C-alpha cells in the first residue's frame, strides 16, 4: 500500500489528499483516513473549535469507511 502511495505522490500535481482520494475511490481502500489541512478545516467547521477529539476518534464510528467520512466531511460547505 505504501508503495502505491509513494508512486502516486511522485506524479506531478498529486499531493497527499489526491493520493489518498485515488486509493479510497479508485482502489477501494475505504479505511484510509487522510490527514491534511483542508480536512482539519472541515472538522473545525462541522464539529466546532476545538473539535471533540482527534480525527481517529471522530471517525471511529465509521470504521472501516473512514475515507468516505473524510471525503464527505470535506465536501460539506
- List, for residues 3-26, the tens digit of each pLDDT value: 998 999 999 999 988 888 898 888
- pTM score above 0.75: no
Sequence-distant (≥ 6) Cβ neighbours of residue 18 within 8 angstroms: 8
Q: What is the pLDDT of residues 57-70, one digit of tens each?
A: 888 989 999 988 98
Residues 6+ apart with CB under 8 A from 64: 30, 31
Mean pLDDT of 20-38: 84
Q: d(Cα 42, Cα 70) in Å, to the nearest integer?
A: 9
Res 75: pLDDT? 83
Amino acid at each position: 500500500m505504501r508503495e502505491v502511495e509513494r508512486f502516486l505522490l511522485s506524479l506531478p500535481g498529486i499531493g497527499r489528499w489526491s493520493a489518498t482520494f485515488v486509493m479510497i475511490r479508485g482502489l477501494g481502500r475505504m479505511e484510509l483516513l487522510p490527514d491534511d489541512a483542508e480536512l482539519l478545516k472541515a472538522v473545525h467547521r462541522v464539529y466546532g473549535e476545538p473539535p471533540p477529539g482527534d480525527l481517529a476518534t471522530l471517525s471511529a464510528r465509521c470504521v472501516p469507511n473512514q475515507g468516505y467520512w473524510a471525503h464527505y466531511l470535506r465536501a460539506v460547505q
